[in-house]
Chain A
Amino acid sequence: MHTQATPLLTGRGLVKRYGQQYALAGVDIDIHAGEVLAIVGPSGSGKTSLLHVLAGILRTDEGQITLGGQRIDQLNETRRSELRRTEFGFVFQSGMLVAELTAEENVALPLLLGGRDRTTALGAAREWIGRLGLQGKEHRRPGELSGGEAQRVAIARAIAHRPKVIFADEPTGALDTRTGHDTVQALVESARTTNTAVIIVTHDRELAASLPRTVAIRDGRIEQAVPTA
């Protein structure tokens, strides 16, 4: 149904080179608002590169990226940072939380750095921690949480500022299958409530299969686009 609408985020002819080697060799991709997309592929196929290019962490060597119809690939680093801070959210393989901060402070940090005041930021943080099932653990430090719990904190942090797209690079990589699936489920459900699109890079074919749409990538090219479910 949403295939008819204008895509939220598009990539056209994306190329990323490292010296002689092509990490991305011409990728076209569309992501719609609120859509959940899995990117799969063997190691070294260019999954992380694609994610980073789309999110503006890396610059493309060729091709165009648009967000809501606007070109974003040519923005300078300051503008791209701002975009990442306001429109995007990120979940990495192992939380990458600030070890000294409590769970709720970690979630509040991006809001605080974005200029929100203490009360608002902590309020939003507590709300999301609650929604992700971590009530009572607001004051724990990352070192005092299990891997799955830490990932939920990371998800809360990625979504608390209500971004348009969440990028997740192997968010389950450090978790066992069961916990991994639960975590992704939590992410997907949270995103649905805010109409946030989610792009998940994963090695886990089974996990990918449980998501609405999967894109397979090999040697820096889209191999197939399989709309599932």
Chain B
Amino acid sequence: MNPVQLALRVLRADRRTRVATLLTAVGVAVATALVLLLASLPMAAEARAERALWQQPQYELSTGGGATISWSSSTDEIDGELITRVDVAPLVDPADVTLPPGIERLPGPGEMLQSPDLATLARERPPAELADRFGAEPVGLLGDDALRFPEQLVVLVGHSRDTMPDSAMELSSFGFGDAEPDELLSLLAGVGVVVLLVPSLVLVASASRLIAARRERRLAALRLAGATPAQVTAMVAAETGLAAVAGAVLGVAASPLLHRLAAFVPWAGGTWFAGDFVLPVWLVVPIALVVVVLVVGAAVAGLRRVVNTPLMATGTGYARKPLSWWRLLLVPAAVAVFFWTLTQASRQDGTMLPMLVALGVLMWSPSLVGPWITSALGGVFVRRWRRPAALLAGRRLRDDPKAAYRASAGVVLAAFAGSMALTLMPSLEAESGYYSQFREEVLYLTTSEDRAAAIVADADEALAGYGLDVRAARVDHADITSGQELHMAVVATCAEAKRLLPGTEGLTCRDAPAIYASQPLDLAKAGVHDPSTGSTVPLPADAPVAPMPAAADVVVVDPVLWPSGAPAQGVSVAVPATEKSREIVRTALLGASGGEQVISKEMMLGQQDTQLADLRRVTVIGLVTASLLAGVSAAISTAGSVMDRRRTFGALMAAGTPVRTLARALRAEAALPALVATLGAGALGTAVAVGLFGLVSQSAPVFSPWIAAPVVLGALVALLAAAVCAPALRRVRAEPLVDE
């Protein structure tokens, strides 16, 4: 009889083996499907980025000469949703301009192509709120191949050369070629593989623990009957291999479904086309094979004991497994290696692989340290117990801390990764300040001195036409030197400053034009700094200087007092907007400028919020998935540890110990290591995150109550796992007292 036949025979005969095999297959299927999804993420990101290349500047296309288009892109928003706007004018015969996929023709001057969702929005909203912004007639739609994601809001506006915005550049063609990989997503996918694969494999290992005792006895019997170690190994490999192959096939089959689901998860502003996630066969097959080999390898490795000492396995031979304290050194060592690779990675933008490997080691280190802590905790219980629950738990934790800890390995990973992510996120969020010289609600664009007046006039006309009372203002800024000091100066009337600049609420305007400064300003020494020549143009020495509230860190100079010939470093046109008027003000500014970039502080912060929301969403999905896997495997291994000792427990129950009492004792045993481990992993994850954050930022990290979430989740998983005790014991009681 060959090993496979023998395995099938065992499967037919033994219900528990069937259950364990099924669980193994499910674990492998989950692992395979998850890895396939994660492996497809970088490719999916690249696919979507490649479709959007035409929307982005590619500076190398501007240098070579032979320009065919004048091109400009800007971002805009409506209700906080990002709109990508591309303006284009042909410099050659439009028929000679190479078009990106998904764009059927080049829109002529005054024409535009919209993405389907933008077209719908533009139709639904009043023109003043959206359609008028583009100053062009819709003549068609952009195809899917021209969209980053299905619901992207993007517009391609046609021009003649002279109506292009100031920021236009001449390009030899639209952007094309290979997109930059999405580093963040690749990193997350890498972390995800570790965080999700490990609990899946632990699940598989727990499933095999369900039948470990029984299998060891069977194999030992076979060894005693003269089977060679190779034969025994082949048999186990066949048994696990059957389950693993079935699971891998199931995983591959289920992966399109998972891809479908993943396509609904927004990232970088939008969801995905289902086709983005397609993995080439040459990647699917090896991934599935590697998972199978890992699982079978783990099963065979676990056999060493039986194969080497067949007689030991039959008896109740008892071997204490001492753990040495050097395990404790591993965590600091792993942390050190991780940080070292991290500094290396940030210095030379090399590959991420060493860092990922180091992260893997770091995540593996709790599995060495955890058992030691578990054993130490067991020691305390053994010395201090008052109730039998503590005694039983203590002895078991002390005797086989590795087995006790194994159950919580998955929870540990989830807690580690989760607390790391959740520590980093609020810290990054606090970092995400954005500097603007204007107040939060103010919309503004930067332009040239020549065009500013025309834009102000057009915008004012549009605002009046839309029935709004606000008006646009030209605001220049420059640097003023006064001795050693350098001040930022804004050229505006006092009234405009009060409307537009932050911290000016308490400003009292003089009747006559004046210079307003929060610090004393010696006009005799002060002058406007000209960065191109390094010289200064003096300010009128007799100008009145009035106080500015300290909250506004800026010098405001009335335009009348601005020395002629003094250079402005930037020219802006700004309009204060309210929540209600915002979209219309946008429309007026965009219509007036013909596609300049309109900015507001909220818009910049909003885009950073999007990224943080993406990260948080992905973290929560990962955390919940990992916890789910961890919970299931913890529950299975708890059931396994009860089954391992069924004779003992059966005897205790026969002698009158109620299931309730016994279950209480076992619950402590099941939950304690997990609780300790989750707390430890949570602390470690937080520490690593604080370190990581320290590398990228000088400020102190911010802790939100969310960092407790993974630990709570982990503890909950542990408690759920512990809840398996009572049902497992009831099963044991229902079975005949001595059945093997």
Contact = CB atoms under 8 A, between A and B. Distances in A.
B654 A90 contact: yes
B12 to A, nearest CB: 22
B184 interface: no
**Chain A interface residue number, banded:** 20 to 34
Contacts of A92: 651, 654, 737-738
Contacts of A113: 388, 652, 657, 661-662
Interface residues of B, number: 29
Given A84-B656, A101-B392, A118 B386 contact: yes
A142 B388 contact: no
B648 A90 contact: no
A42 interface: no
Identify which of A81, A82, A142, A144 gathers the most chain B CB atoms within 10 Å of its CB.
Answer: A81
Interface in B385-402: 385-388, 391-392, 395-396, 399
B656 A142 contact: no
B617 interface: no
Identify which of B387, B651, B662 gathers the most chain A CB atoms within 10 Å of its CB.
Answer: B651
A96 B647 contact: yes
Nearest to A92: B651
A82 B656 CA distance: 6
B658 interface: yes
Contact of A85 (B386, B399, B657, B738): B657
Nearest to A116: B388
Interface string A86-109: 101110110011111100010001
B655 interface: yes
A117 B387 CA distance: 8
Interface string B629-650: 0000000000000000101101
Nearest to A97: B648
Interface string B355-396: 000000000000000000000000000000111100110011
Contacts of A117: 386
B282 interface: no
B316 interface: yes
Contact of B395 (A96, A100, A112): A100
A93 B739 CA distance: 13
B651 A112 contact: no
B737 to A, nearest CB: 7
Contact of B318 (A110, A118, A141, A158): A141
B353 to A, nearest CB: 44
B395 A101 contact: yes
B655 A112 contact: no
A104 to B, nearest CB: 11
A57 interface: yes
Contact of B391 (A93, A112, A143): A112
Contacts of B738: 92-93
A124 to B, nearest CB: 14
Given A98-B392, A141-B318, A143-B316, A112 B387 contact: yes
A83 interface: yes
Nearest to B664: A113
Interface of A is mostly: helix
Given A105-B391, A112-B387, A142-B316, A98 B657 contact: no
Contacts of A83: 656
Contact of A100 (B392, B647, B652): B392
A70 interface: no
B318 A99 contact: yes
B534 interface: no
A78 interface: yes
B226 interface: no
Contacts of A118: 385-386
Contacts of B658: 78, 81-82, 85
Contact of A110 (B399, B648, B656): B656
A158 B661 CA distance: 18
A81 B653 CA distance: 8
Contacts of A158: 655
A54 to B, nearest CB: 13
Contacts of A82: 656, 658
Interface string A59-86: 0000000000000000000101111111
Identify which of A109, A144, A158 gathers the most chain B CB atoms within 10 Å of its CB.
Answer: A109
Contacts of A89: 655
Contacts of A84: 654-656
A92 B657 CA distance: 15
Interface string B282-322: 00000000000000000000000000000000011110000
B318 A112 contact: no
A88 to B, nearest CB: 7
A109 B652 contact: yes
A112 B654 CA distance: 16
B542 to A, nearest CB: 95
A212 B725 CA distance: 44
Interface in B321-370: none
Contact of B657 (A81, A88, A93): A81
A85 to B, nearest CB: 3
A140 to B, nearest CB: 10
Interface in B430-483: none
A112 B388 contact: yes
B648 A99 contact: yes
Given A96-B648, A97-B648, A99-B645, A57 B386 contact: no
B196 to A, nearest CB: 34
A193 B317 CA distance: 34
A4 to B, nearest CB: 31
Identify which of A90, A105, A112, A144 gathers the most chain B CB atoms within 10 Å of its CB.
Answer: A112
Nearest to B385: A118
A113 B661 CA distance: 7
Interface of B: 315-318, 385-388, 391-392, 395-396, 399, 645, 647-648, 650-658, 661-662, 737-738
Q: Which 9 A-B pairs have the closest CB atoms?
A: A143-B318, A85-B656, A84-B656, A96-B651, A100-B395, A112-B388, A90-B655, A81-B656, A113-B657
25 contacts: A57-B737, A78-B658, A81-B656, A81-B658, A82-B658, A84-B654, A84-B655, A85-B658, A86-B656, A88-B656, A92-B738, A98-B645, A99-B316, A99-B645, A100-B392, A109-B391, A110-B655, A110-B656, A112-B391, A113-B657, A113-B662, A118-B385, A118-B386, A141-B318, A142-B318
Given A82-B658, A113-B657, A144-B318, 19 more contacts: A52-B737, A57-B654, A78-B658, A81-B658, A82-B656, A84-B654, A84-B655, A96-B650, A97-B648, A98-B392, A99-B645, A99-B648, A100-B399, A105-B391, A110-B652, A110-B656, A141-B318, A142-B316, A143-B318
